[in-house]
Structure 1
Amino acid sequence: MTGPGAVVPAAGARAATGPGDATADAAWSAAARTSLAETAATLASRFDASAAAVLEAGSEPATDAGIDRLLTARAAAVDAQVRDAWLRCIPADAGLALFAVGGYGRAELFPQSDVDLLVLVPEAADTASDADGAASASPAHAEALARFFALLWDAGLPVGHAVRTPRQCTEAAADITVLTAMLEARPLLADASAVATLQAAASPDLVWPAHEFFVAKREELRARHARYGDTADNLEPNLKEGPGGLRDVQTLRWMALRIIGTGDFESLVALGQLGADELATMQRQRRALSTLRFGLHLVAGKREERLRFDHQKTLAARLGHVDNADNLAVEQMMQGFYRSAALVLRLGERLLQRFEEQLEGEAQPQPLGPRFELRRGYLAARPHDAAVGELPWPADADEVLALFAAWAKHGDPAGMTGPAIAGLHSQTARALAESLPTIPSFDTAAPALRERFMQLLRGPQPVATLTRMARLGVLGRWIPAFSNVSGRMQFDLFHVYTVDQHTLAVLKNLASFASGQADERFNLAHEVWPRLRKPELLLLAGLFHDIAKGRGGDHSELGAVDAREFCTAMGLSAGDTALVEWLVREHLLMSVTAQKQDIADPEVIHRFATRVADRERLDHLYLLTCADIAGTSPKLWNAWKDRLLADLYTATRLALRRGLENPLAATERSAETRAAAHAMLAAFGVSDEGIEALFARMPEIGFQRGRPDQVAWQAASLREVALGDTRVRARPVAAHAGAIEVFVHTPDRAGLFAAIVATLDRCGLAIQQARVLDGPHGMIFDSFEVIPTDPRSPPAPEEIERRLAQALAGPLDSVKPARRTQPRHLRHFRISPQVGFDVVDAGAAGARTMLSLVCTDRPGLLADVADVLRSQALSVHDARIATFGERAEDVFQITTTTDGRNQPLDATRQEALRDALLACLEGDNR
């Protein structure tokens, strides 16, 4: 056991005061509380002054080395009070010893950290176990200890304590968490004999031998990473427990203590386990993370380890970050965190390997050609002169790219096409890190290096290679713009990954398309991929599509310039360069078109096809769009988006095949849909006369905008339904798990749309698209594409039908939107509502007003908006619902009724609607 602090004789400076006087104890606790509060205020002021000074010096606030002095100063202040309380309560001849354990044992005490204590009781004492299995002191000392702990609690210290004999310490250490805390025991009031006794009780000879400890802690680390690796923790990371957080640094220290006998990272340098450069990096990142954690405790005012949205802006300001034209202050702070965490993870992987080799010894290397070999499953560069024990790899850029080529050629993590390469050997990884400054950027590199890079993209596992290069810092050297977005986050709920993480996720999705294995999440991707002439061009587009984030201006335009410069330098042909440049510039085109426009409208398809111009661009853009949306957030991609993009792709491919000079007319589209739907109904035994009678009850525009299977399904729903009756149908969307299509046929009346929307909302369904068509005889044909808000418990189609039919059978005014509490995280992402109006031509239906609404999304938003439209006596004819994180962008086609006819809204009605919507939405911003 090691740690700051000398062995202190248990006798102390003075004897205990006896049983104690309640008044005197209360006075002592009050004085101690005041003293600790004054110390805390002083340390907080020092923290703020240090952050300001570091910022003024021109470096990042989170790199302040003074954080260590703050942590030890707080531990020293607590030490003084703990020792004084002990001496007030515990007789000098009690034979008890007091230790600080856990983080307090490291003398690393944050403002809201627990104060963990261990009282070591002599084995000869008459002890008994309490309910937690810890020993109680002998009856003679139990009262004194109770008084001691009470004093500390009354002084405001969050004390956790255990009272154990040496034997009970050994027994308790069977729990590896208990042993870990004991490893860092620091004597507060204990003589040398007590220290030796505690060390012996936790000896590897008695409990957790070094190898078993290492394996258990490694698995614990991996499980913790998996537990904290979801997207919520990425947006609101846990500074202590999350991947690359302070717990990772502590875990490496615990392993060193058990395996090597020292938890001092400086000592590991002398022992050859850590390089001086690696030590400097580890200490720098530990201090950066500690600064964030110290500041988080200050702004939260409680023990908070997760960097929640509630505290991010406040902490960034406290650290001295200031908004600028390109980056918000909070984004600057979070980029520093993500970069620190990435470096801790990178160094942790190396140390884990070295500890493993320390325990198990070096294995016989397995040669992989003249330049590389496998050591215990890790890829290593072969030493130039193993006899002198030098770092095995005086790497230059050519050697570095050759390393990644060998990695891709000789194996994969699964061991399916070669040896199961677990990763890069720690010594080679260190040498690679030291070699990074020798790697030129692509624009200054020799032609041979550029060609070698392109060979990596055209060779096996290109996405895995790019991912490895990114995580080891090589890609950021080769493409400096990628380094600028490494660790960069955007302060919103739409982008749940940093830009570099998102880019790698997009590339991973593209790799899945190339696997040849169908993925039910993507309807057409695996069919489209084999059509690509040069897949590496799509990979380059994925690599560059967001590379200009954070520079100000349109990142698509700026990224397209970067992509053109890169492709030109790489020697790509003019045509290939133009394709990559176009894809980067237009990478949002397909997503925006599908989600914000009516892709059932032939004119929309024609405009989109004109922008795309040829099938090669369409194939690439479709795949890039799928990969981009799915790589933005695991929760963002859904069956509705898959179907929407697949429908847009199919319709555009048909338009390009017909020729842009021959756009599909509405009448031709209607005839094709009618014929196809007729054939489907006939196949189910419906007579020609019956089919035509059903079609006569349907709106003509439905044949222009609907799919044949949709028209046939709706027509079949009308069989045996009397004119004027209501029919509600719901069905799962085939091959798209979770998506549901809802059809409502009912007499038109005021408030109908609002009642349907409110009912679907109460069913736990989120509307993605709505089409409201007026049919013959005053009937409406409403179609809704919906997805469950909770995919774990989606409502059955029969339940949806029942609840909608019940709602429509009663007074519509009684169907009101559900009241819900706004989720916590949305409070930090408020968007000022924007309401816009335009007039659109709906063909035979006449002119309509297009209402555009941009605002903060929240549960029940659409239901509330529909309720406002009902209160304004407006009819809804079409709706497009698009949500991007916390941002809702909805479009409605609406009319008002004048002289029995639907008319667009005049200026007075528009202003009244704007006021009503703002009054509804501004209530969300209170």
Structure 2
Amino acid sequence: MPTARLDSLPNRRAIIDRRRLADQLAELPDEAAALKREATVLLKQALEAGRAEIGGRLAEHPARGHEIAASYAFLTDQILRLVFDLATERLIPRTNRTAGERLTLMAVGGYGRAEMALYSDVDIAFLTPWKQTAWAERVIETILYMLWDLGLKVGHSSRSVDEMVRMAKSDLTIRTALLEGRFIWGDEALYDDAARRFEIDVRHGTERAFVTEKLAERDERHRRMGDSRYVVEPNVKEGKGGLRDLHTLFWIGKYVLNVRSVPELVDAGLLTTGELKQFQRAENFLWAVRCHMHVIANRAEDRLTFDLQRDVAARMRYNERPGRSPVERFMQHYFLTAKMVGSLTGVFLAHLDETFAQKGRRFGMPSLGVRRKPRNLDGFVIDRGRLSTPEDGFFAEDPVRLIEIFTLADRHGMEIHPQTMRQASRDAKLVDGVRSDPRANALFLEVLTSPRTPGMVLRWMNEAGVFGRFMPDFGRVVAQMQFDMYHHFTVDEHTIHAIDLLSRIEHGDLATDHPLVHKLMGQIVMRRALYVAVLLHDIAKGRGGDHSELGAEVAHKICPRLGLTPAETEMVAWLVRYHLLMSHTAFKRDLADFKTILDFAEVVQSPERLRLLLSLTVVDIRAVGPGVWNGWKRQLLGDLYHAAEEVLRRGHKQKGRMERIEEKQENLAVGLGWDAERFSAYARRMPDSYWVGEGSDTLLANARAIADADAAGKSLLISTSPDEDREATLVTVYAADHPGLFYRIAGAIHVAGGNIIDARIHTTRDGMGIDNFLVQDPFGRPFDDPDRLTRLRIAIEDALANRNRLADRLAAKPAPRTRADAFDIEPNVLIDNKASNRFTVIEVNARDRPALLHALAHALFQSKVTIHSSHVATYGERAVDTFYLTDLTGDKLTAAQRLKALERRLLAAAAGEQLEEAA
């Protein structure tokens, strides 16, 4: 019982000595205002001293979650009792109380369970026998005001016993809160009466409905929280595998069997002794984490954000290991605990079925039995519609069955019984002996490359621990987080999610999102190699070194074991080695520079590799997490694929530069419908780099906008048009070219709330600048709100007219990305004179922050170079900005001293050092 946990706390009087405090309160004057004022001061001091004592205990024993959670509840109990006595005996005294003037104070919810963190809500209920009297109303009001004055966040209700019963019947939340009800102070006989009424009038006969509703509520909560226990910023309380999942199990047991504490679930047959230890270990760990979070954040905080993770890991004394930081070790422990909670949930519900359900059915849920029993289950059996084993030693007789059960589940579209999953987890080590067994490897490969639902079944295999034992290299990344703001899942969950996405694209479920990859899947020859490459692409993360190169070595070892041919093995190893090549080329390089395409095609070498690499790249990016994939990335990868495919299909001697320019000009002339003389005059104004660098849709939009500006005699044109394919807005600025044009426009776009994802800078032969920017809002959506577009035009006009200091306006904008402060990113500048025949390519890696592009462009302006294009890629907290540059005469930058000075300026700008803005 909760009271037993409170009674067992060590040295309780060091937390708060209620008797001594009561004596001090008794000495205070009787005058109500003074009594209330001075009592509040005393109680607040006691509350702060108690919290400090508990905080010290948490620092000294950082893993004692149960004890600390109970300590906060104990402290709160004593404060409430003192306030209750003060209100009923001295502030609102009543000598001759009637039968109706009885009052009970009870704790409900988590507080009723005697579990609290530093800033947990104090959930209480006031009970009266009948309709509330004036005296009870005044007492309740007095108590609440005193609690608020103490700074407590109170959730409260005041009801008669009849009202309590009526509302509990109709509202699941109220019923659950009252299920955890605990007597605090007041009329104990009234509390006992209410408890009896709850048992007889509310709980009795509604057990099945409660289980069904509670499980549905849990599923909805999981969906709301991301429906994965492996999100890298998990919610410790509400997330999948968190405290609320454990609470749900206890609520079900308490409601169905009226157990009073978690250990009684063993006697009830809903947990084994071993499962109870796992339950308590998980709960203790999660409570310790939650208590540390509240202390660090200095407020109620249940989301384990990046900035908290590092501090919690330090407070809980996780140490560094080779290749693993303390925070990564802590988070792996967290995810393994969340996984344990998921396993406990499954076996708990299976015990519930065994104990209460009719034969062949599921308790509290509709029957999920298969309509037609599959033939040839190789000795496995069906239990309540789920795949099971006929006896406890079934896996030990033939450990290959540990793989076979998942293959059968996939073939027949069946769930695996939770007890069998637990049995598989227990016996998972037996699979060590069959890793080289051709039958086991063939069965595993069948699941991995299944045309049905490989992702779901591999996730089950991972949950059981069989996956990591059968493939130890994969076992090394199970529950391994990637401590950055880019990846949303652990490495193993990311990998399985990518396999699932590939399968769904192949099936056509995501054909609308990925039409090119869906089409190419039908042309791929080495399908098995693709699925294995997706499995292995991140297998070497966390080993210290280039995970692509190390992963290729792993592929050479694993693929033959799985039964792949030498050609397939070589293909898998190549794909793993170069799985980042396509995204890096598409997002960090200028695809209009033909050397970019040639260099990429030279590495890829074959159309089959290109098809496979595009498929792997797409699912790798999309599996990172929600919001990472967008139309801009789809467009860039598609452009790179088509350009490289043409080179590989026709050979390197395809259309020359002038041929491509002439083709674009011919297409534009048709689109504009101008006469030959007018178009020829316009075409002569534009440099060759403009025709090569821009796509047909941008060329058409530019030509129309420039024609309108010239006809109106405007020296400045700012036009915006939506680009639906790229999920962005094209912002074109046509103005007299002058030094600093680019950095001023970039700063103005940020002032207006825009985020530049790509930019191309051109100068006409008659001295006008044409700068094309692709702009999104801060959430990666098109920047298309009319008010924002108006602000953008005004901001650009002001910046170019130098009406106000752009630096001041940028400094005045608040920095919204405080989460990035949790990461240490050392700025880095890479200078490459080989990536392009015409330009010096400079790549800057830095912590992402507002107006970073403006700061870097300003540094380049100060370095007296010409920017021809800029490409922006962001990976969570990390930004990679790439610039294609020449000197003012149009040549590459080659002088070592000048390049060194340019590097210093860019490093200073990337680090956020203030630079003087030119007039």
Q: TM-score, structure 2 length as denominator?
A: 0.85
Equivalence for 1:40:
51
Equivalence for 2:198:
202
Asked if the contact 1:740/1:787 (under 8 Å) is kept, the reply is yes
Equivalence for 2:690:
702
Letter in 2 for 1:178: I
Equivalence for 2:591:
599
Correspondence list, 1:46-445, <5 A: 46-51=57-62, 64=63, 66-90=64-88, 95-123=102-130, 127-128=131-132, 138-140=133-135, 142-143=137-138, 158-173=153-168, 174-189=170-185, 193-203=189-199, 205-206=201-202, 209-229=206-226, 234-352=231-349, 354-355=351-352, 361-363=358-360, 367-371=373-377, 372=380, 378-381=385-388, 383-384=390-391, 396-411=398-413, 421=414, 423-440=415-432, 444-445=435-436
SS in 1 for 2:183: strand
Equivalence for 1:863:
854
Offset at residue 651 of structure 1 (A): 1.3
Equivalence for 2:819:
825
Letter in 2 for 1:652: A
SS in 1 for 2:758: strand
Equivalence for 1:749:
738
Asked if the contact 1:6/1:187 (under 8 Å) is kept, the reply is no
Asked if the contact 1:211/1:359 (under 8 Å) is kept, the reply is no
Correspondence list, 1:604-643, <5 A: 604-643=596-635
* Alignment deviations for residues 429-482 of structure 1 (CA, whole Å, 9 cap, x no partner): 33222222322276x442221222223234432333323322332211211222
Letter in 2 for 1:556: S
The CA distance in 1 between the partners of 2:109 and 2:182, in whole Å, is 9
Unmatched 5+ stretches in structure 1:
52-63, 129-137, 385-389, 412-420
* Alignment deviations for residues 633-672 of structure 1 (CA, whole Å, 9 cap, x no partner): 322222121111111111111111223xx4447xx13313
Offset at residue 546 of structure 1 (A): 0.9
SS in 1 for 2:285: helix
SS in 1 for 2:522: helix
1:652 lines up with 2:644 in the alignment: yes
Letter in 2 for 1:183: L
1:304/1:714 Cα in 2 relative to 1: closer, same or farther (>3 Å)?
A: closer
Offset at residue 543 of structure 1 (A): 1.1
Pairwise CA RMSD: 3.9
Asked if the contact 1:854/1:888 (under 8 Å) is kept, the reply is yes
Asked if the contact 2:257/2:268 (under 8 Å) is kept, the reply is no
Letter in 2 for 1:655: V
Offset at residue 798 of structure 1 (A): 12
Asked if the contact 2:249/2:345 (under 8 Å) is kept, the reply is yes
Greater Cα shift, 338-347 or 914-923: 914-923
The CA distance in 2 between the partners of 1:750 and 1:6, in whole Å, is 72
Correspondence list, 1:482-561, <5 A: 482-517=474-509, 519-561=511-553
* Alignment deviations for residues 362-417 of structure 1 (CA, whole Å, 9 cap, x no partner): 336653335455555x4222535xxxxx7998785322322222221223xxxxxx
SS in 1 for 2:476: helix
Offset at residue 754 of structure 1 (A): 2.5
Offset at residue 184 of structure 1 (A): 1.5
Equivalence for 1:460:
451
Aligned length: 870
Asked if the contact 1:381/1:392 (under 8 Å) is kept, the reply is no
1:701/1:639 Cα in 2 relative to 1: closer, same or farther (>3 Å)?
A: same
Equivalence for 2:15:
none
Greater Cα shift, 111-120 or 541-550: 111-120
Offset at residue 759 of structure 1 (A): 4.2
Asked if the contact 2:128/2:161 (under 8 Å) is kept, the reply is yes
Asked if the contact 2:664/2:691 (under 8 Å) is kept, the reply is no
1:664/1:787 Cα in 2 relative to 1: closer, same or farther (>3 Å)?
A: farther
Greater Cα shift, 34-43 or 171-180: 34-43
Asked if the contact 1:170/1:202 (under 8 Å) is kept, the reply is yes
Equivalence for 1:58:
none
SS in 2 for 1:890: strand
1:85/1:679 Cα in 2 relative to 1: closer, same or farther (>3 Å)?
A: closer
Letter in 1 for 2:399: A
* Alignment deviations for residues 250-309 of structure 1 (CA, whole Å, 9 cap, x no partner): 122112111222153333333332233322222211111111112222222332222233
SS in 2 for 1:397: coil
Greater Cα shift, 424-433 or 144-153: 144-153
The CA distance in 2 between the partners of 1:291 and 1:542, in whole Å, is 37
Offset at residue 109 of structure 1 (A): 3.0
Equivalence for 2:881:
890
Greater Cα shift, 572-581 or 712-721: 712-721
* Alignment deviations for residues 130-177 of structure 1 (CA, whole Å, 9 cap, x no partner): xxxxxxxx3445555555556655666555444432112213323322
Asked if the contact 1:896/1:905 (under 8 Å) is kept, the reply is no
The CA distance in 2 between the partners of 1:404 and 1:842, in whole Å, is 51
Asked if the contact 1:695/1:715 (under 8 Å) is kept, the reply is no
The CA distance in 2 between the partners of 1:79 and 1:683, in whole Å, is 78
Greater Cα shift, 648-657 or 854-863: 854-863
Offset at residue 698 of structure 1 (A): 2.1
Offset at residue 892 of structure 1 (A): 1.9
Greater Cα shift, 809-818 or 312-321: 809-818
The CA distance in 2 between the partners of 1:232 and 1:466, in whole Å, is 15
The CA distance in 1 between the partners of 2:790 and 2:39, in whole Å, is 70
SS in 1 for 2:241: coil
Asked if the contact 2:253/2:270 (under 8 Å) is kept, the reply is no
The CA distance in 1 between the partners of 2:199 and 2:776, in whole Å, is 58
The CA distance in 1 between the partners of 2:119 and 2:253, in whole Å, is 27
Equivalence for 1:670:
658
* Alignment deviations for residues 91-149 of structure 1 (CA, whole Å, 9 cap, x no partner): 697744343322222222333333333343233xxx43xxxxxxxxx344555555555
Equivalence for 2:802:
813
Greater Cα shift, 78-87 or 466-475: 78-87
1:773/1:841 Cα in 2 relative to 1: closer, same or farther (>3 Å)?
A: farther
SS in 2 for 1:111: coil
Equivalence for 2:92:
none
Offset at residue 922 of structure 1 (A): 3.9
Offset at residue 595 of structure 1 (A): 1.7
* Alignment deviations for residues 225-265 of structure 1 (CA, whole Å, 9 cap, x no partner): 12222899934322112221111111221121112221533
1:914/1:116 Cα in 2 relative to 1: closer, same or farther (>3 Å)?
A: same
SS in 2 for 1:531: coil
Offset at residue 874 of structure 1 (A): 4.4
Greater Cα shift, 154-163 or 464-473: 154-163
The CA distance in 2 between the partners of 1:150 and 1:807, in whole Å, is 54
Offset at residue 319 of structure 1 (A): 0.6
Greater Cα shift, 902-911 or 428-437: 902-911
* Alignment deviations for residues 744-792 of structure 1 (CA, whole Å, 9 cap, x no partner): 4443223322243234435544322222233322234433333343456
1:231/1:597 Cα in 2 relative to 1: closer, same or farther (>3 Å)?
A: farther
Offset at residue 541 of structure 1 (A): 0.9
Correspondence list, 1:685-724, <5 A: 685-707=673-695, 710-711=698-699, 714-715=702-703, 722=710
Unmatched 5+ stretches in structure 2:
8-17, 90-94, 362-368
Asked if the contact 1:755/1:808 (under 8 Å) is kept, the reply is no
The CA distance in 2 between the partners of 1:141 and 1:809, in whole Å, is 66
Greater Cα shift, 152-161 or 556-565: 152-161
Offset at residue 682 of structure 1 (A): 3.4
* Alignment deviations for residues 715-760 of structure 1 (CA, whole Å, 9 cap, x no partner): 56655764996665554446x2513444444432233222432344
1:20/1:258 Cα in 2 relative to 1: closer, same or farther (>3 Å)?
A: farther
Offset at residue 37 of structure 1 (A): 3.9
Asked if the contact 1:102/1:184 (under 8 Å) is kept, the reply is yes
